[in-house]
């Protein structure tokens, strides 16, 4: 691998650690949940942290996995997340997905154990897309401990997601997909806000959600580089003010070849996302 590729990989791990901390800082991820990103050069691989709470993730915690969710190389004493198949199975099913978030956000949970439908109630909620399907693990697997751990369970979840961007998991949580890391962060946080406002609005009056056409138009507008970058920069700044930015990667062989450490990470991530979307 050339030094540019190594530098890109080090920057990617930094950005993934940053995204973990950011989504946690905004109250969507908590002790549990995780974010992955597909390998930019090898589409049959992805990156994910070892088992830690998202707000603690550093670049050095991030490992490479194949799409069966087996680690490519990991020290024996490193503990891995139990629900990795969520990521691997979605990457297998959806070639257009390059980043995945799984979380148990308190604002989304009420829609995971009631018959109340999660709908977009303001323009930023439109990034959820027109349909938000619900997956009930009981349908295929009966009574379980609710943890998505086998390839069969992961595939069943990916099937329920279908061509959509968010799938609610009954009595468990939420899985969110995106074309880029900034997009999946954007969708995860604003969808959680949308759920919060929907619940709050329901207490004071009748809910009038966005129409299908409004969702489609607002989604296209919001997911343009401008609004995506503005949100990513805002959440990065909030994390910086809290003193919670990730430490730079440890000086391992990989990081040693990086001349300049990743700085202004949000801006860099966005530039990469732009390059990626212009390639499609």
Q: What are the strands, taking DSSP E only, across the chain?
A: 34-38, 45-49, 62-66, 99-103, 134-135, 166-169, 173-178
Rounded Cα distance, 28 and 188, in Å: 7
- CA–CA gap between residue 35 and residue 20 (Å, rounded): 6
Closest CA to 34 of 14, 55, 60, 8: 55
Nearer CB in complex with Mn ion: 73/145: 145
Separation of alpha carbons 160 and 172, rounded Å: 15
Catalytic residue among 55, 64, 68, 83: 83
Q: Which is nearer to Mn ion, 112 or 181 (CB)?
A: 112
Residue 29 Cβ, how far from Mn ion at the closest point, in Å? 11
HEC assignment per residue over 182-205: HHHHHHHHHHHHHHHHHHHHHHHC
| Interface size with Mn ion, residues (CB under 5 A) | 1
C-alpha distances in Å from residue 197, one per residue of 19, 103, 105, 125, 276:
23, 19, 14, 10, 33
β-pairing verdict for 134-135 and 166-169: parallel
Partners of residue 35 on adjacent β-strands: 101
In the shown chain, the binding pattern of residues 135 to 174 toward Mn ion, with x for contact by CB under 5 A and - for none, equals: --------------------------------------x-
Per-residue mark of binding to Mn ion, 86-125 (x: CB under 5 A): ----------------------------------------
Least Å distance, CB 84 to Mn ion, is: 11
Which residue, among 166, 184, 192, 167, has the nearest Cα to 276 in the 3D structure? 184
Annotation marks residue 83 as catalytic = yes
Touching Mn ion, residues 169-188 (CB under 5 A): 173
Residue facing Mn ion at closest CB distance: 173
Q: What angle do CA 167, 195, 186 make, to 5 degrees?
A: 70
Q: Using CA atoms, how far apart are residues 153 and 142, in angstroms rounded to an integer?
A: 11
Specify the residue, 129 or 173, whose C-beta has the smaller distance to Mn ion.
173
Find, among 46, 24, 44, 42, the residue nearest to 34 by Cα.
24
Nearer to Mn ion among residue 173 and residue 266 (C-beta): 173
Which residues, 191 to 230, sit near Mn ion by CB under 5 A? none
Assigned token pair, 260: 């300049």
Active site positions, annotated: 83
Binding site for Mn ion (CB under 5 A): 173
């Amino acid at each position: 691998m050339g030094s540019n590729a190594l530098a890109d990989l080090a920057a990617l791990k930094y950005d993934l650690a940053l995204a973990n901390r950011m989504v946690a800082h905004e109250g969507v991820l908590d002790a549990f949940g995780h974010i992955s990103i597909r390998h930019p050069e090898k589409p049959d691989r992805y990156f994910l942290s070892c088992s830690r709470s998202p707000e603690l993730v550093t670049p050095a915690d991030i490992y490479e996995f194949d799409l069966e969710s087996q680690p490519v190389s990991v020290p024996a004493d490193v503990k891995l997340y139990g629900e990795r198949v969520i990521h691997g199975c979605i990457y297998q099913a959806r070639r257009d997905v390059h980043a995945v978030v799984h979380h148990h956000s308190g604002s989304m949970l009420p829609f995971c154990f009631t018959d109340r439908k999660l709908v977009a109630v303001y323009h930023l909620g439109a990034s959820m897309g027109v349909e938000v399907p619900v997956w009930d693990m009981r349908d295929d697997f009966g009574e379980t401990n609710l943890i998505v751990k086998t390839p069969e369970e992961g595939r069943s979840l990916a099937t329920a997601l279908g061509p959509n961007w968010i799938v609610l998991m009954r009595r468990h949580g939420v899985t969110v997909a995106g074309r880029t890391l900034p997009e999946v962060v954007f969708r995860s946080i604003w969808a959680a806000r949308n759920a919060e406002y929907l619940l709050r609005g329901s207490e004071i009056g009748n809910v009038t959600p966005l129409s299908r056409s409004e969702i489609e138009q607002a989604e296209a507008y919001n997911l343009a580089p401008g609004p995506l970058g503005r949100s990513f920069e805002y959440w990065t700044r909030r994390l910086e003010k809290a003193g919670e930015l990730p430490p730079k990667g440890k000086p391992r062989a990989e990081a040693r070849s990086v001349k300049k450490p990743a700085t202004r990470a949000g801006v860099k991530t966005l530039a990469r996302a732009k390059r990626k979307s212009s390639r499609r």
